[in-house]
């Protein structure tokens, strides 16, 4: 990676893009100390109003801007955080998704929007002078101001550190700030590994000391000196008591080195390389040819569930590495488990870096540095990993390319897969988008010849696709006169599995116990105080919970409106399925996997591993259980209710349902014993259900694409959603109406729908009014959205009022 060449004379000014919802870059003067070091793509800390912000340098120059200029405060990167290619990609995203460049660039750097922040104090030049003079004159360290200046002389320090050392530090710092002696910087905290868990920490001896140390620290240091090399801190705990605490405080004194261990997983089933079967071989060859050509080549790898797509990815990465080119594998949020990471470590060793949004900042920053330095040439990452600074990028793989988690739901609302395509194009790289159920967009692009379609039509070793049976719940009700969660056929199938020692997975894509509470006397439904949705009953937590804003209430025993005690809980959720399983199969060992049982990556993996190792007979869960898992002993998949997503007012409802059912069904019979799938539904004739039952993507695509064409929905033309949000309903109505008038008559070539209250009209106390724009011309769409943004800016709307979503994946 090359830093942008420095102008021959060191520049006096730099233009900085800041994470604020404004379009322009801001010019700052470069103090002498920074002039030689700043280059395009570096992050700098600058004053902005009364705050300090981190921004990215877009240019350096010698043109004094009109008016007064403030000084840049600090340089955060010695080498550019974003190279030219990534800056270009950032500009593309900002333009295409109508997002401010500064916010886009922030989302692209490793310590992005969600960073914990801390206040750091540094001396200004005048502060430094003052410190010298004061220190010359001051005899004792009693004056806290002198003491603070003295401490800051040595290095920048955090507010929390200073507060611990000096009484009343905060107010002293404020007055020093007023005098211009210090600057407060809001910077990313925890860039060091000190906060990581012991299991992920390695410690190494660095130097001896004459200082007097507490006993544990002395012992640990002695131990490390006697045992050179790196030690896992958690393991050390067994040899040296309190090793973890001691290691951290020794690290603070810089007597030992701490580093983070890469994510590996001992329980990851090591996958020996396979000989590719003929279909795999054919697909791999096409990819390899693309790599050899060193040109942009986009592929859709369409392979049924269990057809061995991962093996092709691994081979393709090998091929890229053999050409000394880097590879980037993107996986859905939930797909990046330690087991998956482990597989890649097995195959590629230290060449792999893992980037996961659930990692702590420090871990992410460290992995990011390994990538930038070229130490890690293979990157496995979730969505934002599409910005990883992979050296000499030759290959990008987007696994499960249809997955919704690739779309970011906040500014910049980019689609990771689509950004990956643009990045591959600019880099002259190969991109492989893999799925058993490709998105309509991607398959359409393949039909049009924009992408090359590679097909894996059968499962590995010609294993049969699972046999699928539809169970009509209306018929079941007529015959049994009972509305039960499990049909007779499903009960029988589970029983059989339990007898044979085989495992079952039951999917219900709705968490909680009951989806709502209603009063039989007056019809009242208990709604969230902040959102226009019903509260979900969570039995274990004994509360009514909002799935949009987490608002919670106690479970009422009477109707809050009419005080009747005839209240009932309706709509079965996954928690209830688990409970009913305990009742129906008291001896079965049941586990549940949904957002209520999973609190981070570890729970998720623990539950899945437990299930893989057969500590459980049945796994119940939401869509989390449908994704990618390869558990050979699962021979039954039951869909408790296929209709959950079908009725949603969203043009992708059918596509979602088809994908979910097909992916879930694909978990059955992946081992040597064939599997069956039972789908309970009230709409057995719906084409999404029918095609999923037949595992027939081709038929689904043909049907769905007709509907999209008829309705001018993507992939035909482009779609954008514009939402006006306000906590004041009146204001929301007026402002969205103003936008409606601005767009009336509809701009040429654009179809405007709305404004109308959004499908969920109120979320987190904000009223939402939606306008949909459809057009066959992307250029036109971009122009119109630009107009809307300029209008809102001119009218001084608060930036959060307007939410623009280009290519939305959901209209809810
Ligand atoms: P997919 O991602 O297409 O659903 P996987 O890549 O998970 O499928 O492969 C399914 C199973 O088949 C895995 O257990 C994998 O190890 C195995 N497999 C893949 N390729 C081969 C091969 N050529 N020969 C034998 N087994 C293979
Ligand atoms: Zn009532
Ligand atoms: Zn709510």
Q: 710-756, pLDDT tens digit by residue?
A: 999 999 989 999 999 999 999 999 999 999 999 999 999 999 999 99
Q: Which of 310, 463, 612, 659 to mutate to test the pocket of ligand 1 (most atoms within 8 A of CB)?
A: 310
Strands 676-681 and 634-639: parallel
**Whose CA is closest to 305, among 468, 467, 459?**
459
Q: Tens digit of pLDDT for each residue in 220-250?
A: 888 888 787 778 787 787 777 788 888 888 8
What CA–CA distances, in Å, run from 180 to 142, 173, 175?
22, 10, 9
CA of 141 to the centre of ligand 2 (A): 70
- Amino acid 690: pLDDT: 96
Q: Which residues have C-beta within 8 Å of that of residue 632, sequence separation ≥ 6?
A: 670, 671, 672
**By the 8 A CB rule, do 4 and 15 touch?**
no
Confidence of residue 14 (pLDDT cuts 50, 70, 90): very high
- Amino acid 241: pLDDT: 75
Specify the 3-state DSSP secondary structure of 98: coil
Closest ligand relative to 530 C-alpha? 3
> Cis peptide before 715, with omega less than 30 degrees from 0?
yes
- Mean pLDDT within 652-661: 95
Judge whether residue 321 has pLDDT over 70. yes
- Mean pLDDT within 763-775: 94
CA of 762 to the centre of ligand 3 (A): 8
Judge whether residue 348 has pLDDT over 80. yes
CA of 182 to the centre of ligand 1 (A): 60
What CA–CA distances, in Å, run from 248 to 5, 202, 220, 255?
40, 11, 11, 10
Indicate whether residue 574 lines ligand 1 (CB < 6 A). no
**By the 8 A CB rule, do 433 and 298 touch?**
yes
Indicate whether residue 400 lines ligand 1 (CB < 6 A). no
Judge whether residue 112 has pLDDT over 80. no
Confidence of residue 137 (pLDDT cuts 50, 70, 90): low
CA 599, chain centre distance (Å) = 15
Q: Which of 305, 460, 463, 466 to mutate to test the pocket of ligand 1 (most atoms within 8 A of CB)?
A: 460
- Amino acid 674: pLDDT: 87
- Amino acid 138: pLDDT: 56
- Amino acid 368: pLDDT: 87
- Amino acid 188: pLDDT: 44
What CA–CA distances, in Å, run from 427 to 297, 423, 451, 651, 654?
11, 6, 17, 34, 35
Angle at CA 607, nearest 5°, toward 601 and 611? 140
- Mean pLDDT within 659-669: 92
* CA pair distance 742, 734, nearest whole angstrom: 12
Q: Which residues have C-beta within 8 Å of that of residue 590, sequence separation ≥ 6?
A: 578, 581, 582, 616, 617, 618, 619, 620
* CA pair distance 804, 407, nearest whole angstrom: 13
- Amino acid 8: pLDDT: 53
- Amino acid 389: pLDDT: 95
Q: How many of the other CB atoms lie within 10 Å of CB of 464?
A: 10
CA of 537 to the centre of ligand 1 (A): 40
What stretches of 285-435 adopt beta strand conformation (E)?
297-303, 326-330, 352-355, 378-381, 393-398, 430-435
Judge whether residue 696 has pLDDT over 80. yes
**By the 8 A CB rule, do 43 and 56 touch?**
yes
Element (H, E) at 217: helix 215-226
Q: How many of the other CB atoms lie within 10 Å of CB of 36?
A: 11
- Amino acid 802: pLDDT: 94
Q: How many of the other CB atoms lie within 10 Å of CB of 387?
A: 27
- Amino acid 24: pLDDT: 87
The atom number, within ligand 1, closest to the CA of 271 reads 16
Confidence of residue 266 (pLDDT cuts 50, 70, 90): very low
Residues in the chain, overall count: 812
Q: What are the tokens at 85?
A: 């290619």
Strands 467-472 and 766-775: unpaired
Indicate whether residue 275 lines ligand 1 (CB < 6 A). yes
Judge whether residue 116 has pLDDT over 60. no
For 203-212, 711-720, 757-766, which range has the lowest pLDDT when averaged over its residues? 203-212
Percent of the chain scoring above 90 in pLDDT: 60
Q: Tens digit of pLDDT for each residue in 424-463?
A: 999 999 999 999 999 999 999 999 999 999 999 999 988 9
- Amino acid 141: pLDDT: 55
Residue 387, CB half-sphere, CA atoms under 13 Å: how many? 30
Judge whether residue 77 has pLDDT over 50. yes
- Amino acid 507: pLDDT: 95
- Amino acid 195: pLDDT: 58
Q: Select the more confidently predicted residue: 598 or 679.
A: 679
- Amino acid 716: pLDDT: 94
- Amino acid 233: pLDDT: 83
Q: Tens digit of pLDDT for each residue in 526-564?
A: 999 999 999 999 998 889 999 988 888 999 999 999 999
Phi, psi at 162, each rounded to 5°: -65, -35
Own/partner pairs, 536-545, CB within 8 angstroms, 24+ separation: 536/511, 536/512, 536/573, 537/512, 537/513, 537/569, 537/573, 538/512, 538/513, 538/575, 538/596, 539/513, 539/575, 539/576, 539/579, 540/513, 540/575, 540/596, 541/596, 544/517, 545/512
Judge whether residue 197 has pLDDT over 70. no
**Averaged pLDDT score across all residues of the chain:** 88
Taking the CA atoms of residue 555, residue 557, residue 558 and residue 559 in that order, the dihedral angle to the nearest 10 degrees is 20
CA of 682 to the centre of ligand 2 (A): 29
Percent of the chain scoring above 70 in pLDDT: 92
Element (H, E) at 176: helix 169-178
Q: How many of the other CB atoms lie within 10 Å of CB of 308?
A: 20
Judge whether residue 1 has pLDDT over 50. no
CA of 515 to the centre of ligand 2 (A): 18
Own/partner pairs, 795-799, CB within 8 angstroms, 24+ separation: 795/738, 797/735, 799/21
CA of 407 to the centre of ligand 1 (A): 27
Q: Which residues have C-beta within 8 Å of that of residue 760, sequence separation ≥ 6?
A: 531, 532, 533, 548, 768, 812
**Whose CA is closest to 390, among 357, 431, 359?**
431
Residue owning the nearest CA to atom 17 of ligand 1: 308
Judge whether residue 602 has pLDDT over 80. no
Closest ligand relative to 568 C-alpha? 2
CA of 309 to the centre of ligand 1 (A): 7
- Amino acid 427: pLDDT: 97
Indicate whether residue 274 lines ligand 1 (CB < 6 A). yes
**By the 8 A CB rule, do 363 and 631 touch?**
no
Closest ligand relative to 309 C-alpha? 1
Residue owning the nearest CA to atom 13 of ligand 1: 308
Confidence of residue 135 (pLDDT cuts 50, 70, 90): low
* CA pair distance 13, 32, nearest whole angstrom: 11
SS (H, E, C) 237-252: HHHCCCHHHHHHHHHH
Q: Which of 284, 308, 458, 632 to mutate to test the pocket of ligand 1 (most atoms within 8 A of CB)?
A: 308
Sign of the dihedral through C-alpha 192, 195, 201, 202: positive
Phi, psi at 361, each rounded to 5°: -55, -45
- Mean pLDDT within 64-91: 92
Q: Select the more confidently predicted residue: 290 or 594.
A: 290
What's the predicted TM-score (pTM) here? 0.81
* CA pair distance 144, 415, nearest whole angstrom: 52
């Amino acid at each position: 990676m090359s830093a942008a060449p420095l102008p021959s004379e060191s520049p006096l000014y730099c233009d900085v893009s800041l994470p604020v919802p404004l379009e322009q870059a801001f010019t700052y003067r470069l103090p002498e100390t920074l002039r030689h070091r700043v280059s395009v793509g570096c992050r700098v800390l600058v004053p902005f109003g009364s705050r300090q912000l981190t921004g990215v340098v877009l240019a350096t120059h010698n043109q004094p801007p009109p008016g007064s200029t403030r000084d840049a405060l600090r340089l955060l990167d010695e080498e550019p955080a974003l190279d030219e290619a990534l800056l270009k990609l950032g500009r593309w995203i900002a333009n295409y998704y109508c997002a401010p460049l500064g916010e886009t660039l922030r989302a692209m750097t490793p310590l992005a929007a969600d960073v914990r922040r801390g206040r750091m104090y540094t001396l200004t030049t005048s502060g430094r002078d003052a410190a010298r003079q004061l220190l010359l004159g001051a005899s004792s360290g009693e004056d806290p101001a002198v003491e603070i200046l003295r401490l800051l002389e040595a290095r920048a320090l955090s507010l929390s550190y200073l507060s611990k050392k000096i009484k009343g530090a905060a107010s002293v710092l404020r007055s020093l700030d007023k005098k211009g002696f210090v600057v407060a910087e809001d910077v990313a905290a925890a860039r060091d590994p000190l906060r990581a868990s012991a299991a992920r920490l390695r410690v190494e001896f660095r130097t001896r000391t004459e200082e007097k140390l507490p006993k544990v620290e002395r012992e640990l240091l002695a131990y490390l000196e006697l045992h050179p090399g790196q030690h896992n801190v958690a393991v050390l705990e067994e040899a040296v008591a309190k090793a973890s605490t001691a290691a951290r405080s020794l690290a603070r004194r810089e007597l030992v080195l701490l580093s983070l261990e890469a994510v590996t997983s001992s329980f990851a089933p090591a996958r020996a390389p396979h000989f590719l079967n003929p279909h795999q071989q054919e697909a791999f060859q096409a990819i390899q040819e693309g790599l050899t050509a060193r040109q942009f080549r986009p592929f859709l790898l369409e392979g049924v569930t269990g057809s061995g797509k991962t093996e092709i990815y691994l081979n393709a990465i090998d091929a890229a590495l053999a050409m000394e080119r880097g590879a980037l594998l993107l996986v859905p949020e939930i797909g990046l488990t330690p087991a998956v990471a482990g597989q890649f470590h097995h195959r590629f060793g230290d060449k792999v870096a893992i980037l996961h949004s659930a990692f702590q900042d420090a871990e992410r920053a460290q992995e990011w540095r390994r990538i930038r330095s070229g130490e890690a040439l293979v990157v496995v990452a979730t969505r934002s990993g599409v910005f990883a600074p992979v050296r000499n990028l030759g290959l990008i793989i987007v696994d499960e390319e249809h997955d919704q988690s690739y779309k970011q739901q906040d500014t910049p609302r980019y689609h990771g897969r689509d950004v990956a395509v643009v990045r591959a194009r600019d880099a002259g790289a190969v991109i492989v988008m893999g799925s058993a159920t490709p998105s309509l967009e991607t398959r359409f692009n393949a039909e049009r010849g924009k992408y090359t379609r590679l097909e894996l039509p059968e499962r590995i070793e010609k294993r049969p696709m699972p046999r699928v049976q539809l169970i009509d719940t209306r018929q079941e009700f007529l015959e049994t006169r009972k509305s039960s969660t499990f049909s007779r056929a499903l009960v029988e199938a589970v029983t059989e599995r339990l007898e044979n020692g085989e495992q079952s997975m039951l999917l219900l894509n709705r968490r909680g116990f009951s989806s709502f509470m209603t009063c039989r006397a007056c019809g009242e439904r208990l709604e969230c105080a902040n959102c226009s949705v019903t509260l979900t009953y969570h039995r274990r937590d004994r509360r009514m919970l909002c799935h949009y804003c987490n608002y919670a209430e106690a479970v009422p025993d009477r109707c809050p409106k009419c005080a009747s005690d005839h209240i009932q809980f309706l709509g079965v959720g996954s928690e209830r399925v688990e409970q009913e399983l305990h009742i129906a199969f008291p001896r079965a060992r049941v586990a549940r996997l949904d957002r209520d049982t999973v609190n981070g990556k570890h729970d998720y993996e623990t539950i899945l591993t437990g299930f893989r190792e057969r500590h459980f007979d049945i796994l119940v869960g939401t869509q989390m259980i449908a994704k990618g898992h390869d558990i050979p002993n699962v021979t039954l998949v039951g869909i408790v209710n296929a209709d959950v997503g079908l009725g949603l007012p969203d043009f992708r409802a059918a596509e979602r349902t088809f994908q979910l059912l097909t992916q879930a069904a694909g978990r059955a019979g992946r081992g040597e014993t064939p599997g069956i799938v039972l789908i309970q539904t009230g709409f057995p004739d719906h084409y999404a259900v029918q095609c999923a039952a037949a595992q027939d993507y081709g038929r689904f695509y043909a049907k769905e694409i007709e509907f999209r064409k008829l309705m001018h929905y993507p992939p035909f033309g482009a779609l954008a959603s514009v939402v006006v949000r306000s906590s004041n309903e009146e204001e929301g109505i007026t402002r969205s109406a103003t936008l409606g008038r601005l767009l009336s008559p509809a701009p040429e070539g654009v179809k405007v729908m709305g404004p109308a209250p959004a499908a969920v009209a109120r979320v987190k106390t904000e009223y939402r009014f939606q306008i949909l724009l459809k057009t066959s011309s992307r250029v036109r769409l971009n122009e119109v959205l630009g107009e809307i943004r300029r209008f809102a800016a001119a009218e001084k709307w608060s930036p959060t009022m307007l939410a623009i979503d280009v290519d939305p994946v959901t209209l809810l």
